């Protein structure tokens, strides 16, 4: 026997390695054993349905973190660049001025913090929803355990039915040999032989169908486990056995356990608590909220046509120098004094005013060369706001009414689930008692059918009975043995369904 995990690991090897060792592996591999514990472990690791339930856990955890994060300040940073093409500025009165293309860039860094009753209630509400998600995952695990256990029992039951069919084939083979022997000595007719042959053929077909049902049950088990078939289906061996013991659990104990452990009920209770918190959060919409904002920013603006910028500066300086010269002439004519010695130099112009001084031109070029990171910072700004909405078109009342309706719905869902759990547990408990009692009844029926078969065989050997009588006795014993097997596994499956209803193992 090769352990199930070892085989699964071997199945994950590289295709080339598997191809190279295929003949050796086939010879060494006799069978693969699967215990119920291993089947459950593989199902928890590979079952698609269960893994889908597990995928809900990370968003639930992040929901709680996000609720706490809403109580902290939020920080944002942004940066931008831009371009403005050339054009003309309308100065009014029909005057226009050509503008140079320019590049822009900027940044902003902001901090914002808001405090409200809904934000304060958020963490507790998200924790309740997270607990509900965890209970859903526990419920998925319990459902998976019940499904795997039930299917494992179905596969064992199918194997046991194969044993019953094989035993019936042996009986019918003995019957055929006996009929042929009696026909040879003249104690039976050819009709008896043909009756025995038909009975033998029927049992052979029943055995084939029982084997097929056993294969299908094992395939279904592997499907529920979420794994591929590792070897030929006839090499899969189920190793566990389940003894029949009298049930000792009490109904009151089961109901109390279900009240504490049933995951579906616990999930709805957690959602009920979340709905209560949502009502409290809706009530806080009538209370003031506090917000704080602060930020820093800066920008750049650089002209791409420096000659146009210098020309505009030159024209402005020439106009100012002309005004200066006019003022000097007026002051000189009136003997006021205070003339500017050199109006051109005073406004950064060379003598004659035809061009800007080199230092002035260089300074203008340097001041213009700011794109993209030589920002001009803006003053720091901050404000604190206390807000109390007075009339919002009854939107707050609507949200509160909706939250209360959801709370009442959650209360009714919990009550309905509690009633369902209690009725289900009681029904499963009664089913368990019935299944255990049915085992004793089927055992007595099996023993009676076997006695009937022995009597029919003895009567046929002695010539007092008919082949049809013996065939009917064999059919009856096969049915009784099959019914006994069914009753035994129905009992074990009743325990599995009761455990699923309670929400925990009872063995």
How far is it, in rounded angstroms, from Cα 143 to Cα 160?
25
> How many Å separate Cα 355 from the centre of its chain?
75
What pLDDT, on the 0 to 100 scale, is given for residue 3?
Answer: 45
The pLDDT tens digits of the residues spanning 160-219 come to: 999 999 999 999 898 889 889 888 888 888 888 898 899 899 999 999 999 999 999 999
Contacts of 65 (CB under 8 A, 6+ apart): none
CATH class of 31-68+119-288+393-502: mainly alpha
What pLDDT, on the 0 to 100 scale, is given for residue 96?
Answer: 65
What is the residue extent of each domain of the chain?
A: 1-30, 31-68+119-288+393-502, 73-115+291-387
Burial letters 276-301, b for 16+ CB under 10 A, else e: bbbbbbbbbbeeebeeeebeebbbbe
What pLDDT, on the 0 to 100 scale, is given for residue 503?
Answer: 92
What pLDDT, on the 0 to 100 scale, is given for residue 18?
Answer: 37
What pLDDT, on the 0 to 100 scale, is given for residue 15?
Answer: 39
- Which residues, given as ranges, of the chain have pLDDT below 50? 1-28
Its sign, for the CA torsion 434, 436, 440, 446, is positive
Stated as kind and residue range, the H or E segment containing 236 is strand 236-238
Q: Report the candidate in 380, 485, 403 with the shortest Cα–Cα distance to residue 443.
A: 485
Return the structure tokens found at 346: 């005073």
What pLDDT, on the 0 to 100 scale, is given for residue 90?
Answer: 64
What pLDDT, on the 0 to 100 scale, is given for residue 390?
Answer: 87
| Strand 32-34 relative to strand 236-238, pairing | parallel
């Amino acid at each position: 026997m090769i352990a199930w995990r070892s085989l699964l690991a071997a199945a994950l090897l590289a295709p080339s390695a598997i191809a190279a060792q295929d003949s050796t592996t086939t010879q060494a591999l006799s069978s693969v054993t699967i215990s119920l514990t291993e089947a459950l472990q593989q199902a928890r690791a590979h079952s698609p349905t269960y893994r889908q339930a597990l995928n809900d856990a990370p968003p639930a955890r992040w929901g709680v973190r996000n609720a706490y994060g809403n109580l902290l300040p939020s920080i944002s940073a942004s940066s931008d660049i831009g371009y403005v093409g050339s054009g003309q500025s309308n100065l009014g009165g029909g005057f226009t001025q050509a503008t140079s293309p320019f590049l822009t860039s900027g940044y902003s860094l902001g901090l914002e913090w808001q405090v409200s009753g809904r934000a304060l209630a958020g963490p507790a509400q998200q924790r309740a929803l997270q607990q509900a998600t965890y209970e859903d995952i526990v419920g998925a695990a319990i459902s998976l355990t019940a499904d795997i256990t039930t299917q494992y029992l179905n596969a064992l039951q199918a194997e046991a039915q194969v044993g019953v069919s094989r035993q019936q084939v042996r009986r019918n083979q003995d019957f055929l040999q006996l009929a042929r022997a009696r026909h040879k000595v003249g104690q039976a007719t050819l009709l008896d032989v043909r009756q025995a042959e038909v009975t033998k053929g029927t049992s052979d077909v029943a055995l084939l169908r029982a084997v097929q049902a056993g294969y299908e049950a094992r395939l279904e088990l592997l499907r529920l486990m979420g794994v591929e078939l590792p070897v030929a289906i006839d090499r899969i061996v189920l190793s566990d056995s389940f003894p029949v013991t009298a049930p000792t659990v009490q109904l009151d104990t089961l109901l109390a356990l279900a009240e504490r452990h049933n995951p579906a009920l616990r999930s709805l209770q957690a959602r009920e608590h979340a709905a209560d918190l949502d009502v409290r959060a809706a009530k806080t919409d009538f209370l003031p909220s506090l917000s704080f904002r602060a930020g820093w920013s800066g920008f750049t603006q650089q002209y791409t046509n420096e000659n146009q910028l210098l020309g505009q500066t030159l024209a402005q300086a020439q106009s100012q120098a002309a005004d200066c010269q006019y003022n000097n002439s007026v002051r000189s004519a009136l003997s006021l004094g205070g003339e500017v010695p050199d109006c051109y130099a005073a406004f950064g112009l060379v003598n004659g005013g035809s061009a800007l001084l080199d230092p002035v031109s260089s300074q203008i070029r340097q001041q213009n060369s700011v794109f993209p990171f030589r920002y001009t910072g803006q003053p720091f700004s901050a404000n604190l706001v206390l807000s109390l909405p007075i009339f919002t078109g009854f939107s707050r009342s609507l949200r509160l009414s909706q939250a209360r309706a959801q709370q009442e719905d959650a209360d009714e869902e919990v009550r309905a689930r509690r009633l369902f759990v209690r009725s289900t547990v009681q029904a499963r408990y009664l089913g368990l008692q019935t299944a255990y009692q049915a085992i004793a009844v089927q055992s007595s029926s099996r023993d009676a059918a076997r006695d009937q078969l022995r009597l029919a065989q003895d009567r046929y050997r002695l010539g007092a009975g008919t082949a049809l009588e013996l065939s009917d006795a064999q059919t009856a014993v096969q049915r009784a043995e099959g019914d006994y097997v069914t009753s035994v596994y129905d009992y074990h499956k009743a325990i599995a369904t009761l455990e699923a209803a309670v929400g925990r193992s009872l063995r």
